[in-house]
Amino acid sequence: MSKGTLFDKVWDLHTVGTLPSGQTQLFIGLHLIHEVTSPQAFAMLRERDLNVLFPERTVATVDHIVPTENQARPFADSLAEEMMQALENNCKEQGITFYNIGSGNQGVVHIIAPEQGLTQPGMTIACGDSHTSTHGAFGAIAFGIGTSQVRDVLASQTLSLSKLKVRKIEVNGDLRPGVYAKDVILHIIRTLGVKGGVGFAYEFAGSTFERMNMEERMTVCNMAIEGGARCGYINPDAVTYDYLQGKDFAPKEAEWDRAVDWWNSLHSDADAVYDDVVVFEAQKIAPTVTWGITPGQGIAVDEVVPRADTLLEEDRPIAEEAYHYMHLHPGAPIEGTKVDVCFIGSCTNGRITDLREAAKFAQGRHVAEGVKAFVVPGSERVKKQAEAEGLDKIFLEAGFEWREPGCSMCLAMNPDKLQGDQLSASSSNRNFKGRQGSSSGRTLLMSPAMVVAAAVTGQVSDIRELL
C-alpha cells in the first residue's frame, strides 16, 4: 500500500469518513460539468428533492455538442439545442457559474479550468468526463465519473470511492527533437497497455516531466485514462506555480505565499512508498503514432504495423480486428499511409502551446491536395491568444480551416465528423472504432506537429524530416 505520496496526502485531507461498505467518502474540491453527462444528474436531484450542496464549487461550460462553424442559436441540431437549454436552465436554477459561448471563457472543460486557475494543486477534482485526469498535471487528484456520481457530487460534494494504488512512472532525460509530450504518453500506454493502469493512480515523475511546461504535463495526464489509470498526476513545482500565479482564481498576495507552502507540503515524500514503479528513458522515445483501434496500439513512426506473431497472444485478436478495420497490413510501414482528414484540437492538444508548435510547421507550407485539415482552438481564450499572435493567419494561409472552440472531431457529437472510411491524422486521444463520427472512420493518434506533417504531405510522415 502506498504511503507518503501526494495521492495519499490529498486523499487523507479530503476524507470525510468511511462508509458502511468500507469505501471512503471523499470531498470534491472542484466539480466541473458539461452538457452531455449532467442533465440526467439534475433530473435525479429533482426526483429526490435534493439541491446542490456547494453550488460555488461547481463550474459549467459547454463543449461536446457545440458546432465549430456556425454557433448561432438555436443550434441547427435540435437535440444539441435541447441539451444546451437544459444546462442553461439547470445552472440558473441551482446558482452554478456557467461559461457559455461568447462569454470569453467557454471551451473544452479540461482547458478552461486550468487556464482560469480553477485547477490547483492539492485539490480533488471530478467531472463527468474521463479526461478529467488532465487536471492532475497540477498535483490535483482528478478523475472522471459517471452521471449517477455527478448527482452525488451535486447533492453532497462528495463521492463514495475505493482508494487507488499508486504507480510511479518515471521518465528521465531529454526528449529527442521532434518528440513531444504526446509521444511520451503514447509510448507509456503502448508499453504498459490500455488496462495496465486499472486500479492505479499514475504519478508521473522524473526529469523529463520536470522539464515539461504545464500544457505538456496536461497532455500527459490527460491520457492516463487511456492507459487504464483513472487518475494521473505530477507533483507541483516552480513550473506549476509560475503558470498559476496571476490566474483569475489563483490565490493572491499573502494567500499566495501560504498556498505555495501548503502545496509544497503535499509533494510526494522522498521516501514515499509506491505500489509499483516503472522507469523509462526519454531518449528511447520516438515520434509515435497509433495504427490500430486502441490507444495502446502505437508504434514509432518509422516502425511497421506489427505482425500478430510478434505480439503477446492475448493482444492478437484485437490486432487482427484492427488490421481489418484500419485496412492496414501487418509488416507494412505506417509512414506513407495516405490521410484524408487532419484534426488539431481537443482536451489533449488544443492549447496555445500546441497551436504554436503546429503553426511553426505549417508556416510556409501548404495542406496537400485532397486533404481536409482544420484547427480547433480549445477555448475562447486560446482562440483569442492565437489570433493575437497571428497563428490563425498562418493556418489559413497554409490551407487549414480555423474554427470556433469545442471538442469537435475528437468525439464527433457535433457536425465535425469523418465520412465513410476516411482516415484521420488526429491530435486527439482516442482511436476507437467509430470514434470520430463514422462507423467505419479510421483514426491515427499523433502529436499536433505530426498532424501538420501529415497534412502538408498528405500521408503519415516523420516530423523529424521537417525539422
Partner 1 sequence: MVSEVRTMAGSGIPLIGNDIDTDRIIPARFLRCVTFDGLGAAVFADDRKALVGQHPFDQSQYQGAKILVVNRNFGCGSSREHAPQAIAKWGIQALIGESFAEIFFGNCVAMGIPCLTANSGTVDYLQKALAKRPQTPISLDLMAMQVHCGDFHAPVFMSEEPRNMFTEGTWDACGQLVAQAQQVRAIASKLPYMAWNR
Interface with partner 1 in residues 190-219 (CB under 8 A): 194-195, 198-199
Is 146 a binder of partner 1 (CB under 8 A)? yes
Task: Give the up-direction half-sphere exposure of residue 8: CA atoms within 13 A in the CB hemisphere.
Answer: 16
Is 383 a binder of partner 1 (CB under 8 A)? no
Shorter beta-carbon distance to partner 1: residue 81 or 210: 81
Of 172-180, 267-275, 314-322, 359-367, the segment contacting partner 1 by CB under 8 A is: 314-322
Is 255 a binder of partner 1 (CB under 8 A)? yes
Interface with partner 1 in residues 58-117 (CB under 8 A): 64-65, 77, 79-80, 82-83, 86
Give least dist CB 143 to partner 1, A.
Answer: 8
Is 12 a binder of partner 1 (CB under 8 A)? no
Give least dist CB 101 to partner 1, A.
Answer: 17
| Among the listed residues 67, 107, 128, 458, the single contact to partner 1 using CB under 8 A | 128
Angle formed at CA 282 by CA 279 and CA 288, multiple of 5 degrees: 110
Is 302 a binder of partner 1 (CB under 8 A)? no
Output b/e per residue, 389-410; b: 16+ Cβ within 10 A: eebbebbeebbbebbbbbbbbb
Contacts of 269 (CB under 8 A, 6+ apart): 4, 5
Is 321 a binder of partner 1 (CB under 8 A)? yes
Encoded one letter per residue, x for contact with partner 1 by CB under 8 A and - for no contact, window 28-47 reads: -x------xx-xx--xx---
User: What is the distance of C-alpha 142 from the center of its chain?
Assistant: 12
Give the count of residues interacting with partner 1 (CB under 8 A).
92
H or E stretch at 59: strand 58-61
Give least dist CB 133 to partner 1, A.
Answer: 10
For the record, the C-alpha cell of 28 comes out as 470534491
Strand (E) positions, 329-397?
A: 341-344, 372-375
| Among the listed residues 74, 95, 246, 317, the single contact to partner 1 using CB under 8 A | 317
Residues 202, 199: Cα–Cα separation, whole Å: 10
Of 103-111, 148-156, 267-275, 359-367, the segment contacting partner 1 by CB under 8 A is: 148-156
Q: Please name every residue paired with 304 in a beta bridge, in sequence order, or none if there are none.
A: 333
Residues 447, 310: Cα–Cα separation, whole Å: 26
